[in-house]
Amino acid sequence: MSDTPWLTILGIGEDAPEGLSRASLAALEDAEIVMGAARHLALLPPCQATRVTWPVPFAEGIETLLGHRGKRVVMLASGDPFWFGAGGSMMRHLPPGEWRTLPGVSTFSLAAGVMGWPLETTRCFGLHAAPLSRLRPALAPGVRLIVLLRDGPTVPSLMEYLVKQGWGTSTISVLESLGGPNMRRCDMRADDAVGGAFAHPVCAAIEVAGPGIAMPLASGRPDAFFDSDGTMTKQPVRALTLSALAPRPFEHLWDIGGGSGSIAIEWLLSDPSLSATTIEQKPARAARITANAAALGVDRLQVVEGAAPAALEGLTRPDCVFVGGGLSQPLLDWLEAFLPAGTRLVANAVTLESEALLLKAHERHGGDLLRIELARAAPLGSGRGWKASYPIVQWSVTL
């Protein structure tokens, strides 16, 4: 096995050692070091390798593993290491050519087989170390979810979360030790009283039901989804702004003058590959943005407290920038000077002074200039009339 990389990332299930492939058994027989969780090590067949227990938290074991570079090492992981597994975490530390993977059957596949659900129409979540609010964008009547959970005590928390969101009549199948001799299934509703304890490893198969409010898929979600002190880009303008920002896979956004965070949050809701940084100078608003992002399932939003352009120094360079507050000539000058060519820039102006800045910027750089005037029906005497909002000027350009 001289041509084999020093590290093998081996997926192992609850049916080990019987369920291990020939290639997996050969890797274990050839290994000098086998490193994994105590539960995984206990499932292994007899082998000559030195067994090293992976510590908790997971990150503390990475340096230990890398310290064995040059030996023949097997790293144990649950099921398929590259589907919400440990394999993806290791790739930040390993160059190509130093590793190979021998995946096992994923927990998602095992759960789908138990439930009889086609995986292509089932939403899959790995919440070992992530908040339950990650489920929020997916909650809608009839949606099926398979959720990997950190441990047994998380099951009551999951049920409580669903009830709080209005989905208490959802059916939940709690699946323990899938694929192994100790496999157990418990069917209940989210609003049932929890009876007994659940053991790790555990996942939940959920069919969502109830009167909860589903989150729309299109940009321009209702304002009520966002906690705000009144400073936010309102729903119709937000939809137009997201259209101008035009998110593309794996792009990064700067949202300058975050307010309630609605623009950055909707950007992140567009696709799980997207990332964003919101810059907000008022501490109370920065805290509110963080809370809004967590509640709506995009806790990956980075919130930077400070005033632009000073707060922009050292941040990950963006593919797209939105200026919704704090528009000034120094800020525009800084963006024009430091952003690389090809960066998309969208800025909204409400005051005459900020509108004038955008008119001058349009003269210098071109792009699209849009004036948005909206009116809503409102009571007027015994009838109704149109109540106009302040017009908004939007400039969008590729630098």
CA 101/CA 21 separation, integer angstroms: 13
What's this model's pTM, rounded to 2 decimal places?
Answer: 0.92
Q: What is the DSSP string of 56-88?
A: SSGGGGHHHHHTTBTB-EEEEEES-TTSSSHHH
pLDDT in tens, 315-359: 999 999 999 988 999 999 999 999 999 999 999 999 999 999 999
Average pLDDT over residues 283-301: 97
Average pLDDT over residues 162-168: 98
pLDDT in tens, 177-198: 999 999 999 999 999 988 778 9
**H helix count then E strand count, the chain:** 11, 19
Q: Collapsing DSSP states into helix, strand and coil, what is residue 348?
A: strand
Average pLDDT over residues 290-301: 98
CA angle 396, 238, 230 (to 5 degrees): 120
pLDDT in tens, 347-356: 999 999 999 9
Average pLDDT over residues 226-255: 95
For residues 267 and 47, which has the higher predicted lDDT (pLDDT)? Answer: 267
Average pLDDT over residues 13-37: 93
Strands 375-380 and 392-398: unpaired
Q: What is the separation, in whole angstroms, between the first and last Cα of the chain?
A: 53
pLDDT bracket for residue 232 (50, 70, 90): confident
Q: Collapsing DSSP states into helix, strand and coil, what is residue 286?
A: helix
pLDDT bracket for residue 2 (50, 70, 90): low
Torsion of CA 149, 152, 156, 162, to 10 degrees: 10
Torsion of CA 234, 239, 243, 249, to 10 degrees: 100
Residue 57 CB: number of other CB atoms within 10 A? 8
Give residue 372's pLDDT: 95
Give residue 1's pLDDT: 44
For residue 96, give every residue at least 6 positions away whose Cβ sits within 8 Å of its Cβ, in sequence order, or none: none
Mean pLDDT value across the chain: 95
CA 261/CA 293 separation, integer angstroms: 7
21: tokens are 């492939």
* In the chain, alpha helices (H): 22-30, 38-42, 62-66, 86-90, 107-115, 154-164, 235-245, 262-269, 283-295, 329-338, 352-365
pLDDT bracket for residue 206 (50, 70, 90): very high
pLDDT bracket for residue 141 (50, 70, 90): very high
- Smallest CA-to-CA distance from 323 within 292, 284, 357 is with 357
CA 137/CA 144 separation, integer angstroms: 13
Which single residue is written with the structure tokens 């137009």?
240
Using a pLDDT cut of 90, give the percent of the chain over it: 90
Strands 202-207 and 171-176: antiparallel
Average pLDDT over residues 211-227: 96
Tell me which of 88-92, 113-117, 122-126, 330-334 is least confident: 88-92
pLDDT bracket for residue 276 (50, 70, 90): very high
pLDDT in tens, 93-111: 999 899 999 999 999 999 9
> Taking 90 as the threshold, does the pLDDT of residue 57 lie above it?
no
Give residue 322's pLDDT: 98
Give residue 356's pLDDT: 96
Which single residue is written with the structure tokens 């790293």?
75
CA 224/CA 18 separation, integer angstroms: 53
Query: Domains along the chain?
Result: 7-105 (3.40.1010.10), 108-207 (3.30.950.10), 223-398 (3.40.50.150)
Give residue 370's pLDDT: 96
pLDDT bracket for residue 147 (50, 70, 90): very high
- Smallest CA-to-CA distance from 309 within 340, 286, 283, 331 is with 331
> Taking 50 as the threshold, does the pLDDT of residue 25 lie above it?
yes
Fill in the amino acid letter for 345.
L
Count the alpha carbons within 13 Å of 23 in the hemisphere toward its beta carbon: 11
CA 232/CA 289 separation, integer angstroms: 11
